[in-house]
Each structure stands twice: as structure tokens, then as C-alpha cells.
Amino acid sequence: MYYIVTGAAGFIGSNLVKALNERGEHNIIAVDNLKQADKFKNLVDCEIADYLGKEDFLKKLQDGFFDGLVAAVLHQGACSDTMETDGLYMMENNYRYSLELMNYCQSEEIPFLYASSASVYGGGRVFKESREYEAPLNVYAYSKFLFDQIVRRRWHKRSAQIVGLRYFNVYGPREQHKGRMASVAYHFFNQYRAEGKVKLFEGCDGYANGGQLRDFVSIEDVVKVNMHFLDHPNKSGIFNLGTGQAQSFNDVAVATINTLRTAGGKPALSLAELQQQGLISYIPFPDKLRGKYQSYTQADTGALLGSGYIEPFLSVEQGVARYVEQMLKSTA
């Protein structure tokens, strides 16, 4: 039996492939678009049975090639660029692709775990998996929102597990290919090593400089939650995947810089000290992001806890430190 991972060479997908390998699963069909060739590096230390491009994969599905051979589908493949303005491409790649996969999984009674997004909540202040709190601000978020809505409409007719995971701000290894869409922890690490300081956005929406709050979640925890649902195929639903605790961009910067300072034999400093020494500075908030930016996110984790998931999440201080240490080892 095969596990199919779409977006397998991407950030979350490749971490899921590695996690499946660590559970002894090597019959993995890795589906991705390697037009951005550097993504192959994410799979170099992974074991897979085959690699397929999206179009070849969909044709094989339609031809019945995988019928009766699939243990589960972990669908991570999507355009994740929140600044993408080609709505036709976004809807085809994120919405239609997801719909075709879900229809196949339902017809074959295959567990289907897919990537949703916390972006569906838009600029709201309540992050609970309920329609009244959802108001996407861009076409990326709308593509995720619309698919969640279709899942809800078909809920009572489902024949197998369906799990939608609304990822909050994920950071961790294997995201280097994402460029400007990589996590702030990744960018802060590289800024500090190149320039000896970190630049954050000035305040907006009533928040102080660098004080905007996000639910930053480690890829380690994202993987654990996905594995939890694979192990509990009787559990279905749309779930927030965040820590449930918002922290500031300043917190991420402090954790990044202090881990690097400690590795270099220097003492850790407070936020105020880092600001005073010019190691943290602030740049004007971009006009193009106004009205399209979430200044605050914090997952309501009630539904996830209700599914039986009880593992503690890493804080920014814990998770970012581990991530920075891993990046240091990989660049040594």
C-alpha cells in the first residue's frame, strides 16, 4: 500500500515524507512540480517509491492505476504565495486540484488529510473553526476557504476520513526554497548572520514596533498532528493547527539572535538591550500589505484537543532555538 504525499518536495510535504520514513514507511508516492528545481534537496535524505508530476499523477488516478493500492493521501500541494494575483491559477491549483483528490479518496474510501490555512480568518480576532469567523483577505485564502466550505457541504456523505488542518505560521527545516515566503525565523537567521542585525516591520493596527502577534508553530508539531490523525482514522474534521499562544515578531527575533549569540560565546540580551545596541531595528510597514495583513492570530485549539491530541506544543523560545541550532549545523 502506498502513501501519497502531494507537495512532497515542499516545506511541510517533505517533512511528512521524512516522518513516514521514520515510521518505517517507504512506499511513498511523492507528487510535486519541480519547476523550482532546488526543492529536490528536501527529498535527498528521504526514501520514496516514485516521483510524479501533478499532471502525470492526476492521469494515473483517472486511469485507475492506484485503485486499491493507497493507504492514505496527505495533500500539501498548493500555491502558498499569499501575494499571488492570478486568481485563475490559484483556484485551479488549490481548489480544483484538492476537489479532485477528495472525490477520488471518497470513492476509494481512502483517508484524506489536506492543508488548509489560518489565512481563512482574515483580519478577525476569533480563530475558531466556524463559518462566522471566516473572511479571507486574498485569493490564496479564498481558495482554501472555498474548499473547506465544500468539505462541510459534503460532510454527512463522507465514506472515509477527511481532515483539514488550518496551519498557522509554520517554521522549521526544509523551507529554504520558499524565498520571501519562508518563515521570519529563517529570514532573521540569515539577516543576522549577513548583517549582524535584524529588521522588523514598524507597528501597525495599534501594535508597537515588532509587536504584531502571530501563532508561530514548529514544523515538528505540525508533523506530530498529521501523524496523530493518520493513527486515528475514525477522527475527521477541520482543525486549527497552531500552538494556541500568540507571540510577537520581537519574540522570534530575540530567540533567533540569542541562540546565535550563545553559539558564538556571547551572552543573551533582552529585547530592550538588542534595540539599544541596534541589533534589532524597524522598517516602515509596506503599503502593499495594508488591509491584507494579519496583525494578530491565535489558534483556538479546542477542536484539536477534542480529537484526542494532547501533546504539548513548542514555544517560540524552544522551537526557534532548535531550528536555529539545526540551521547552524547544516551551514557549518
Say if 200 falls within a structural domain: no
Band of pLDDT at residue 74, cut at 50, 70 and 90: very high
Question: Which residues are CB-contacts of 223 (< 8 A; sequence separation ≥ 6)?
Answer: 15, 16, 19
Q: pLDDT for 120-132, tens place per residue?
A: 998 889 999 999 9
**What is the pTM for the complete model shown?**
0.94
Would the annotation count 170 as a binding residue?
A: yes
In a domain, 161, yes or no: yes
8 dihedral zone (left: phi>0; alpha: psi -120 to 50; beta): alpha
Give yes or no for residue 32 having a pLDDT over 90. yes
**Within a domain: residue 37?**
yes
Q: Is 18 annotated as a binding residue?
A: no
The reply to whether 260 falls in a domain is no
* 32 in a known ligand binding site: yes
Q: How far is CA 89 from the centre of its chain?
A: 20
pLDDT of res. 77:
84
- Nearest Cα to Cα of residue 185 among 195, 164, 200: 200
Q: Enter the DSSP assignment of 48.
A: -
Q: Is 293 annotated as a binding residue?
A: yes
Given the residues 140, 167, 192, 309, the one annotated as active site: 140
Residue 80 pLDDT more than 70?
Answer: no
Domain membership flag for residue 279: no
pLDDT, tens digit (0-9, with 9 covering 90-100), for 153-199: 999 999 999 999 999 999 999 999 988 889 999 999 999 999 999 99
How confident is the model over 14-34, as a mean pLDDT?
96
Q: Taking a C-beta distance cutoff of 8 angstroms, is the pair 210, 282 a contact?
A: yes
% the chain with pLDDT above 90:
83
Number of structural domains the chain divides into? 1
- The domain of 109 spans 2-167+219-242+299-313
Q: Is residue 2 within a helix (H) or strand (E), and if so which, with residue range?
A: strand 2-6
Which residues does 91 contact at the CB level (< 8 Å), separation at least 6?
139, 143, 146
Q: What was the pLDDT predicted at 289? A: 78
Question: CB of 324 within 8 A of CB of 260?
Answer: yes
Active site residue 178: yes
Q: Give pLDDT, residue 170.
A: 97
User: Residue 64's Cα: distance from chain center in Å?
Assistant: 30
Residue 322 lies in a domain: no
User: What pLDDT is stored for residue 82 in this prediction?
Assistant: 57
CATH of the domain at 158: 3.40.50.720
At residue 72, does pLDDT exceed 90? Answer: yes
Mean local confidence (pLDDT), 290-304: 88
Instruction: Assess whether 140 carries a catalytic annotation.
Output: yes
Residue 49 CB contacts under 8 Å (≥ 6 apart), including other chains: 2, 26, 27, 28, 29
178, 197, 199, 235: the catalytic one is 178
What is the distance between the alpha carbons of residues 136 and 248, in angstroms, rounded to a whole number?
22
Write down the pLDDT at residue 106: 97
Report if residue 198 sits inside a domain: no
Bridge partners, 164 (sequence order): 114, 238
The answer to the question of whether 46 is labelled as a binding residue is no
pLDDT for residue 264 is more than 80 = yes
CA 57 – CA 62 distance, rounded (Å): 9
| 92, part of any domain | yes
pLDDT band at 85 (very low <50, low <70, confident <90, very high): low
